[in-house]
Structure 1
Amino acid sequence: MAEAWWNDTLIAKSDDIVRVEGNAYFPRAAIDDAVLRDSSTTSICPWKGTAHYFTIAANGAENRDAAWYYPDPKPAAKEIAGRVAFWKGVEVRD
């Protein structure tokens, strides 16, 4: 079982994790919707596609663009469709 924590808050928990380039991608359904805020930020990966971001809000603080996902990943990254990964201090514990 893997968990994602930030600011003393459990934000995701699942035993169905996909690891790509050292990042744990959680199923979208495993993430607490209450902590996610849409962001207008995007970035492009040559082999995964266009990433979109969420800001995480927990315990009165925000972590801007600390979660990302690929709404329409390229075929080489199809295993991360419908999944979200974290960075910027979000701790993934397995």
Structure 2
Amino acid sequence: MTAQADSDWNLGRPATTVAAAGDLDMEGPSRGTGRVCSPVPTRTGHYKADVAGQRIDEREKMKAVVGETVVAEAANEAVVRMEGNVYFPPDSVVAGVLRDSPTPYTCPWKGRAQYHDVLVGETVLDDGAWSYPDVNESASARVGRDFSGYVAFDGRQVRIET
């Protein structure tokens, strides 16, 4: 993987870099996107990221939004990015918006997933989010931190923004 500084955009601001597809090309709830994000320093030592084609300044906050309702919000440095998804820390998700779903899934490298329906007012987004309650130790080592309980949202149903 090659990290290329983008000095026109970076301007000394910290951010994170997305790994090239195939670096950790795994399948999972991301439904085969093949995108995995790994922080890679630029020449200036800052980081940049590309989530769904959008560059992200680490000083900003990530949000998961349904309609106009924010269902999760966290500082960029608190989220975990992998396979094209943004995983929010459990305490950054609004209380009461997730209901466990019976949909089964086990990722070969992360472990057993728990799908969640996302509830916003009268809207129910079936399997609109998922988490890994007990991440495999090797997955935490591979990602660089324990992301047990972190919640990712289905980008086809929930808007992820900064």
Length-normalised TM-score, structure 1: 0.91
Q: Does 1:83 align with 2:143?
A: no
Given the alignment, which residue of 83, 86, 89 partners 1:21?
A: 83
The answer to whether the 8 A contact 1:6-1:90 is kept is: yes
The answer to whether the 8 A contact 1:11-1:32 is kept is: yes
Give the CA RMSD over aligned residues: 1.2
Q: Does 1:48 align with 2:110?
A: yes
Deviates more, 1:30-39 or 1:9-18: 30-39
Taking the TM superposition and a 5 Å limit, the aligned residue runs for 1:54-65 are 54-65=116-127
Q: Which residue pairs with 1:72 in the alignment?
A: 134
Task: Give CA deviations for 1:25-83 in whole Å, capped at 9, x if unaligned.
Answer: 00000001221112122201111111111101113110011110011111232232121
Helix, strand or coil: the match of 2:134? coil
Amino acid aligned to 1:60: E
Q: Does 1:37 align with 2:105?
A: no
Helix, strand or coil: the match of 2:139? helix
Q: Which residue pairs with 2:21 in the alignment?
A: none
Cα distance in 1 for residues equivalent to 2:84 and 2:120: 24
Cα distance in 2 for residues equivalent to 1:11 and 1:85: 11
Q: Does 1:9 align with 2:77?
A: no
The answer to whether the 8 A contact 1:9-1:59 is kept is: no
Report 1 or 2 for greater relative contact order, CA contacts < 8 Å, sequence distance ≥ 6: 1
Instruction: Structure 2: give runs of 5+ residues left out of the alignment.
Output: 1-60, 141-145
Larger Rg: 2
Helix, strand or coil: the match of 1:40? coil
Instruction: Structure 1: give runs of 5+ residues left out of the alignment.
Output: none
The percent of aligned pairs where both chains have the same amino acid is 38
Cα distance in 2 for residues equivalent to 1:13 and 1:72: 22
